[in-house]
Chains A and B, each alone.
Chain A
Amino acid sequence: MIHRDLGLTDEEYKAIQDRLGRDPSYTELAMYSVMWSEHCSYKSSRVHLRNLPTEGPHILVGPGEGAGIIEVAPGKAVAFKIESHNHPSFVEPVNGAATGVGGIVRDILSMGARPIALLDSLRFGPLDEARTRYLVDGVVHGISSYGNSIGVPTVGGEVVFEDCYAENPLVNVACLGVIDTKLMNGKATGPGNAVILIGSSTGRDGIGGASVLASAEFDDESHEKRPSVQVGDPFTEKLLIEACLELIREDLLVGFQDLGAGGISCPISEMTAKAGTGMTVRLDAVHLREPQMEPFEIMISESQERMMAVVEPGNVQRVLDICKKWGLHAGVVGRVDDGDAVKVVDGAGETIADVPAVSLADEGPVYERPYERPGWIDEIQAADPGDKEPPDLAQAFLDVLASPNVADKSWVWEQYDHMIFLGTVQGPGGDAAVIRLPDSDVAVAITADGHGRYCYLDPYEGARSAVVEAALNVACTGARPLAVTNCLNFGNPEKPDVMWQFAQAVEGIGDACKALGTPVTGGNVSFYNETSGRPIFPTPVIGMIGVLDRPDAAVGSALSGDGDVLLLLGDTDPADLGGSEFASRVHGVIAGRPPKVDLADARDMIDLLVEVAGSLSSAHDCSHGGVAISLAESAIAGGRGFDCDLPADHRFLFSESPARVVVSCAPDNARQVAEAAEKRGVTVQQIGTVGGTELRFGGFTVSLENAKHVAAHSLADALAGPTIAS
């Protein structure tokens, strides 16, 4: 029953036998096991993902390629994609996170784009556990050491702490690239063309990463899977980026793809399936890290920092020379054939695999897994949402401010180079990062947001909220949201309640993206995020990109002018405390119904923010912690206080009603902003003025100094505790 050890079911094995009309060889079986894995084939998610909107006027390339391509200005295209590296990061945090960065960077590179920015969306368990601190430290170090070394700035993201991620942290990494000279494709066209493998040698690391590690639940023995985690070498990745961009600039490549999950089996089958060609690969030509590797190991090794290029015979020498200049190994490992077969030949000249390319790449199983709304959803939605009045409003404010989900995350992002490329107009810590594209006056705003708690309480509403929050974060900078990439982190899809969460969340994302006009250009699905039967909160993470007309027009979240007027845009429902940071932090409750977002309102708000950006001094959305925390964050960022007259009501102050933004502007501009809001039917409330050294909410006052101290120290202090090596 070797196929079961490789992660294939009996039915899947039977399907392979039927397709081939014979038993597969061991090498063939290994290739099917990775290509038909959940991670590579999307076999459980595909039927749902089909319903997402994927087309729009700015979308040049949608899902199915290395990354989505979006035209952000005439003649200026960017690549944008997010991926998960959850399981590897739990088993080995430093290398798991590092290779997560490496993998998404190669996806972007495969499109012919220079990677210019990274976002990390990280989720961990409670900080009072030593193991969490060990994971945070390792993951942040992994991202820092890899991202900094390859010279791609990490400009934003999110860090969330929640009990459900204790045994299954989430490490989602998004990358933005800008097309350098030519948009590449992953097609092995032109029979007779050479197939060149560029980069690191192929070793025994990462065997079964896609099938054994990423596509199964965790249990107590999961740490024995450590050999399935790949080891990253950022130095080689940096050389790979520069060498490959030079190859593309010199127009030497016909087709190009990265090697990630599934190892070499992936590009040889996908590139031929897309082109309608075949390919022969010679195993003895693959540059190995250690001798005596078994053929199946070579075929599915997930050794990092490798790319595959299809090259016309006349250009082969030039390609090899450029790689040599960069100190990279490159070698011809095969050729494109007529026909449709992927063939693998061993050193003795014997054919050890010979299967139709499409059977590996496109004909994997597609499951319509059963799904059912779980009974516990009704119970939890009917439960007390944690909206009781706190004993002391000022103390409740400080408690929410000190929540590691709210507090200053500079402990994390100061470890990331967030400035290289001289394009970081707004870096980490604000709503969205604003990046000026190299050698241009075009700027984009990018963000990654998820809301596991809301999705746990109502996956449909939670997913919509995540899309809206991402879009608002982008719009707060003045950028118009253009497109989405998503990373869908869920439990075991073989369980009907998990599959229901997934189906609901995908529907929510689809509805929100349609309403906001932001198509989904691709992304990644990560199932089996559970340990010993306990799934994580369903956590779709939305990567959003928008475009600004001018980089110097970007609006920040920091209060910037004494005497400025503070306006609250949008409607506040004091009942919106279900799943809120207040309920969790002050009452220890995650229950009730999450806020329900009105997509038409969200769209109006986005249009308004884009329209009035030029008149604003600051803009910051109200998310975790509501209007109270939004105001405090803007004050701390700007180093100046405010004087507001807000109701002394916790339900108003901490309500997380969606699609609300606090903006500040010069008094002379207030009227124009208010009129623009009214014209779009957006509720506008003048709530106070900027200035002073205190946060005066109306019902209570906290000194700016104290608020700053609380926000700055809570995460750093919590992380200063001892960690354990595991």
Chain B
Amino acid sequence: MNPRVGVVVFPGSNCDLDAQKAFRDLGADVVSVWHDEETLPEVDVVVLPGGFAHGDYLRTGAIARFSPIMDAVRSFADAGGLLIGICNGFQILCEAGLLPGALRKNAGLKFLCKWVDLRVENASTPFTNAASPGDVLRIPINHFEGNWYAEPDVLDELKANDQIVLRYVDNPNGSLDDVAGICNPERNVFGLMPHPERACEALLGSTDGAVILRSILASSPSLVSAP
């Protein structure tokens, strides 16, 4: 049975179709889930895609965390379901308190769309287990608010728990401790600013993003529990 991926669509999401295509190309069954729904369909993985949910008005992710679907997303994560937030999705996860810290404006106060190198710091998560620690992945970023910040004690805790999953090799946005992606202590919720779905085809410049997507699919219950 193919892994089933649900991509949540908020008004203003714009990387939902790209995420769907990237997962589908890797063999997943994909459904889109409108933000106004109150329940999730039967899925193995939930994706909060990139974009500008609710126009990013007030603050990135600040309104999206109140969308009706978010209660179901939280319950899904609490029950151990695999939840990944990409870019705006990461911002929403932080606003919702599902991941620690916050995303501030880039240090250069400019929107940045470019290829960056990411170092895999923790390859023992369901999101990175197809990689090895220290691997460098080439994946693009595309954000104005990607400058992750957390209080010192929070950062210490993340480090102690090995929750920093990806770091920038050459920090593009001022992010604290070069953080590009983090997970929760249980390792089933993952947020990252770079866009792995944009790096799944050699024709587009890199296939390193597929390492992350393949890790997720290989870890999905449908596949893991299959005989």
Flag if A235 contacts B203 (CB, 8 Å): no
Which B11-56 residues have C-beta < 8 A from chain A? Answer: 11-12, 14-15, 17-18, 21-22, 36, 51-52, 54-56
Flag if B21 contacts A418 (CB, 8 Å): no
Flag if B204 contacts A418 (CB, 8 Å): no
Q: For the complex, is A702 an interface residue (Cβ under 8 Å from B)?
A: no
Flag if B18 contacts A144 (CB, 8 Å): no
Contact of A425 among B113, B195, B203 (CB under 8 A): B203
Which B192-224 residues have C-beta < 8 A from chain A? Answer: 195, 197-198, 201, 203-204
Flag if B140 contacts A419 (CB, 8 Å): yes
**CA separation between A720 and B22, bound complex, in Å?**
38
Q: For the complex, is B159 an interface residue (Cβ under 8 Å from A)?
A: no
**CA separation between A521 and B220, bound complex, in Å?**
50
B52 to chain A, nearest CB (A): 5
**CA separation between A172 and B15, bound complex, in Å?**
26
User: A150 and B14 in contact (CB under 8 A), knowing A234-B55, A235-B54, A238-B52?
Assistant: yes
**CA separation between A413 and B112, bound complex, in Å?**
9
Q: For the complex, is A239 an interface residue (Cβ under 8 Å from B)?
A: yes
User: A238 and B14 in contact (CB under 8 A), knowing A418-B113, A419-B142?
Assistant: yes
Chain B facing A: main interface SS:
mixed
- B21 to chain A: which residues have CB within 8 Å? 422
Flag if A238 contacts B18 (CB, 8 Å): no
**B-contact bits for A541-553, CB 8 A (1 contact / 0 none):** 0000000000110
Candidate in A150, A235, A420, A436 with the most chain B CB atoms within 10 angstroms: A420
**CA separation between A161 and B22, bound complex, in Å?**
40
User: A425 and B12 in contact (CB under 8 A), knowing A144-B111, A414-B114?
Assistant: no
User: A417 and B113 in contact (CB under 8 A), knowing A235-B12, A436-B203?
Assistant: yes
Q: Chain B: which residue is nearest A443 at the CB level?
A: B203
Q: Chain B: which residue is nearest A415 at the CB level?
A: B111
Q: For the complex, is B57 an interface residue (Cβ under 8 Å from A)?
A: yes
**CA separation between A150 and B21, bound complex, in Å?**
19
A175 to chain B, nearest CB (A): 16
For chain A, give the interface size range.
20 to 34
Candidate in A150, A413, A417 with the most chain B CB atoms within 10 angstroms: A417
**CA separation between A555 and B112, bound complex, in Å?**
26
- B12 to chain A: which residues have CB within 8 Å? 149, 235, 238-239
**CA separation between A410 and B56, bound complex, in Å?**
25
- A425 to chain B: which residues have CB within 8 Å? 203-204
**CA separation between A378 and B36, bound complex, in Å?**
68
**CA separation between A424 and B198, bound complex, in Å?**
10
Flag if A235 contacts B52 (CB, 8 Å): yes
Q: Chain A: which residue is nearest B53 at the CB level?
A: A235
**CA separation between A414 and B173, bound complex, in Å?**
13
B110 to chain A, nearest CB (A): 6
Flag if A422 contacts B201 (CB, 8 Å): yes
Flag if A552 contacts B11 (CB, 8 Å): no
Flag if B198 contacts A422 (CB, 8 Å): yes
Flag if A149 contacts B203 (CB, 8 Å): no
Interface, chain B (partner A; CB < 8 A): 11-12, 14-15, 17-18, 21-22, 36, 51-52, 54-57, 110-114, 140, 142, 195, 197-198, 201, 203-204
Interface, chain A (partner B; CB < 8 A): 144-145, 148-151, 233-236, 238-239, 325-327, 410, 413-422, 424-425, 436, 551-552
Q: Which 7 A-B pairs have the closest CB atoms?
A: A151-B14, A235-B55, A149-B52, A415-B111, A144-B111, A417-B113, A422-B18
Can you sample 24 A-B contacts with CB below 8 Å? A148-B52, A149-B52, A150-B14, A151-B51, A235-B12, A235-B55, A235-B57, A236-B55, A238-B12, A238-B52, A239-B11, A327-B11, A410-B114, A413-B113, A415-B111, A415-B112, A416-B113, A419-B142, A419-B198, A422-B21, A422-B201, A424-B204, A425-B203, A552-B203
